[in-house]
Amino acid sequence: MLPDSVERMTNAEARDANGEPAPPCPLCGDRAPSRVLSDRLGDYFQCPRCALIYLDPAQRITTLNEVLRYLEHRNSADDDRYLAFLARLADPVRVRLSAGARGIDFGCGPVSALGDLFTASGFPTVSYDPLFRPDHGALLHRYHFALCSEVVEHAHDPRALFAQLAGLVEPGGLIGVMTRFHGVEAPFAEWWYRRDPTHVCFYDARTMAWIAGHFGWELELPVPNVALFHVRRSG
């Protein structure tokens, strides 16, 4: 549930910035969201089916401004704090892999630190990013695992993103996703994570459970803000 400090409007009142019916959920497609917040950053809606909170699509920043925002990040493979941050996802994934498992770091951004970390640990991993490392040949293969660190909150079409991840992982494989869950650190209106203009979708455990159910995966939540999806074997 959202904190009491966040005002929830009824479905009948939920409208976009132009007074039109609220945009449908970009994950599950539900057409009866509730508006949870309107402020200078935009209008935010929550889906009653999958609990995703999302910014009105009409209020997203341009692709150019999105890229410029990404370039402001100062992530480096030489930064111990950044490596410690990546370990929140890397550690629970690595202990669940078989020796020699091959993976892809999907949405790595300008730096391939996570993929390099896995490769150095004996799990050969390619790094892919549609903007900074657009090696589309990497998308023609299937892997034992896929990593998705701080990516899904940027997705304009999260359902398509998870479908793409599904196509990249072999049956019996693992998909590891890290993103901040809403409703944990602070009321949504005060939450620092939503203030990044490139963050347009916000998830919680219920959202991850919907994703797992939709794709037929098994969900594991080993540590805060990390979801592991176990892709079932065929037959």
Q: Mind listing the domains of the chain with CATH numbers? A: 61-231 (3.40.50.150)
**Residues 136-186 pLDDT 10s:** 999 999 999 999 999 999 999 999 999 999 999 999 999 999 999 999 999
Structure confidence at residue 70 as a pLDDT band (50, 70, 90): confident
Q: What is the pLDDT of residue 6?
A: 36
Q: Check: CB of residue 14 under 8 Å from CB of residue 35.
A: yes
Enumerate long-range contacts of 187-192, CB under 8 Å, 24 or more apart. 187/2, 187/3, 187/5, 187/6, 188/2, 188/3, 188/6, 188/36, 188/37, 188/44, 188/53, 189/5, 189/6, 189/37, 189/39, 190/5
Instruction: Kindly compute the dihedral angle of the four CA atoms of residues 97, 99, 102, 106, in this order, to the nearest 10 degrees.
Output: 30
**Residues 99-148 pLDDT 10s:** 999 999 999 998 899 999 999 999 999 999 999 999 999 999 999 999 99
What is the identity of the amino acid at 103? G
SS3 content of the chain, % helix, strand, coil (to 5): 30, 25, 45
Residue of 131, 25, 4 lying closest to 68 (CA atoms): 131
Percent of the chain having pLDDT more than 90? 81
* Mean pLDDT across 65-80: 81
